[in-house]
């Protein structure tokens, strides 16, 4: 009976998706913050990601969209960057920082590196969904 339980437990842990775990450390997280009237448009970020993918011939790139984080539409985009090489990761983060610095139309976008997200600490209304670029 113990062996069966242990086998089931190993199977269960192996099949649980990464987003169901309580804590995840991401190489880079972009936080979209509000100053009063909503968050900045993500259009510059989307264009940057598409240019980066085209330039480096990357077929797919995804991020976890975590939100809402507040009353005015605040959310986070958390990139795992598993699809990129080490060199591409460095370049991608550098470009994210440049792009985020320009996103100030309503609020701010801040880039944080090696950020740990603890899902147990998020509000009950916060959801995590996968965003594909």
95 within some domain: yes
Which range of residues forms the domain containing residue 90?
Answer: 20-132
- Structural tokens at position 121: 């600490």
3-state secondary structure of 36: coil
4 within some domain: no
121 within some domain: yes
Q: What are residue 67's DSSP bridge partners?
A: 127
52 within some domain: yes
Nearest to 51 by CA among 97, 84, 92: 92
6 within some domain: no
| pLDDT of amino acid 20 | 54
What is the residue whose two structure tokens read 């199977």? 11
**Residues of the chain whose pLDDT is less than 70?**
1-21
Structural domain count, the chain:
1
73 within some domain: yes
Nearest to 104 by CA among 30, 50, 32: 32
- Structural tokens at position 90: 């460095």
Q: How far is CA 92 from the centre of its chain?
A: 13
Percentage of the chain modeled with pLDDT above 70: 84
| pLDDT of amino acid 118 | 94
What is the residue whose two structure tokens read 């550098």? 94
75-79 and 62-67 beta bridge pairing: antiparallel
| pLDDT of amino acid 94 | 98
Query: 82: domain CATH number?
Result: 3.30.70
| Residue 11 burial by Cβ neighbours in a 10 Å radius (0-12, 13-18, 19+) | exposed
91 within some domain: yes
| pLDDT of amino acid 1 | 52
Work out the number of other CB atoms within 10 angstroms of the CB of residue 83: 16
31 within some domain: yes
Are the C-beta atoms of 84 and 27 separated by less than 8 Å? no
């Amino acid at each position: 009976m113990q062996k069966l339980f242990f086998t089931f437990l190993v199977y269960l842990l192996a099949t649980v998706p990464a987003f169901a775990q309580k804590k995840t450390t991401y190489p880079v997280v972009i936080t979209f913050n509000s100053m009063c009237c909503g968050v900045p448009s993500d259009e510059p970020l989307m264009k940057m990601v598409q240019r980066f993918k085209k330039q480096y011939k990357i077929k797919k790139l995804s991020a976890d969209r975590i939100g809402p984080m507040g009353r005015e539409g605040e959310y986070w985009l958390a990139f795992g960057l598993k699809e990129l090489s080490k060199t591409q990761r460095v370049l991608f983060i550098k470009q994210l920082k440049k792009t985020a610095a320009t996103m100030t139309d309503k609020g701010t976008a801040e880039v944080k590196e090696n950020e740990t997200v603890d899902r147990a600490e998020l509000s009950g209304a916060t959801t995590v969904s996968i965003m594909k670029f």
